[in-house]
Amino acid sequence: MQSDTGIPSRLPRILLNLSVYFFLLSISAVCVIYAMNFYALRQADALIRAVQGVELNRSTAEDVRRVLARTGPVSHSMLNLCDVNDDEYSVRAANPILNWLSQRVNLASPFKNRYWTVTASIVVSHGYACAVRIYVFVLPKHGAISTVVSYEPEFPSPILTPDPYLVSIRKYKGDDWLEVEVTSSATDVQRRNAFGFDFACLRRFGGCQSACELLPLAWADYRIKARQEGWALPVDEAADVRCNETR
């Protein structure tokens, strides 16, 4: 028998409407998150392109500030790298709101990257750019992924590191680290590979699994070198299809 209030007869429809509402709200939230992520990654791509236009020992401090200012707010600090009291100008590409949400709300991390940031810095010594450094950090569900590119006129100890282009990989307690060191003596192809960042895994549902996905060209160079030298490849990267596609 139907209640005088009619609530029991309307309850299924109310529940259905609420379900549809929450479903649409969830889809809208994911779309907004994707758009925010897409915009931040466009800034990261622009930042990588911008720093490649800096000429070591030729670009002035004013040139450096102008190039970086096109991609975001520029921060300044002092350090001792090329000489004492060098100036370091940096720009960071990330989405602080998304990074904060992704570590607390599962809905905010459809890409399975709970946190990511791209930082590019240019060191100026005696008025001219002397080094470029790019640091990408990704915090997936387990472990951490880091990729670092250092570009300098020459290595501090050229006798110990005669090769102008070095790629190294380290694994430690689930963390994945890929580092590229390149100098002005490297070939155009080597410099291109050193700066060949690919942020597709940061856009992809499922997120990044290995550092080799972020620097695929440098990883391919390391893989060739490892085979020539008889080095064992890291198990995760060797098994990751996305790291071993023909490029």
How far apart CA 221 and CA 226 sit, in angstroms, is 9
How far apart CA 182 and CA 153 sit, in angstroms, is 8
pLDDT value, residue 119: 97
Give the least confident one: 7-11, 49-53, 72-76, 159-163.
159-163
pLDDT over 50 at 1, yes or no:
no
How far apart CA 232 and CA 219 sit, in angstroms, is 14
How far apart CA 216 and CA 236 sit, in angstroms, is 14
Per-domain residue ranges of the chain: 7-243
pTM given for the model? 0.82
How far apart CA 230 and CA 50 sit, in angstroms, is 37
Tens of pLDDT, residue by residue over 78-111, are: 999 999 999 999 999 998 877 887 777 665 555 6
The amino acid at 162: P
pLDDT value, residue 204: 82
How far apart CA 149 and CA 119 sit, in angstroms, is 11
Cβ proximity of 119 and 126 under 8 Å: no
pLDDT, mean over the chain = 85
CA-closest candidate to residue 178, choices 196, 204, 203: 196
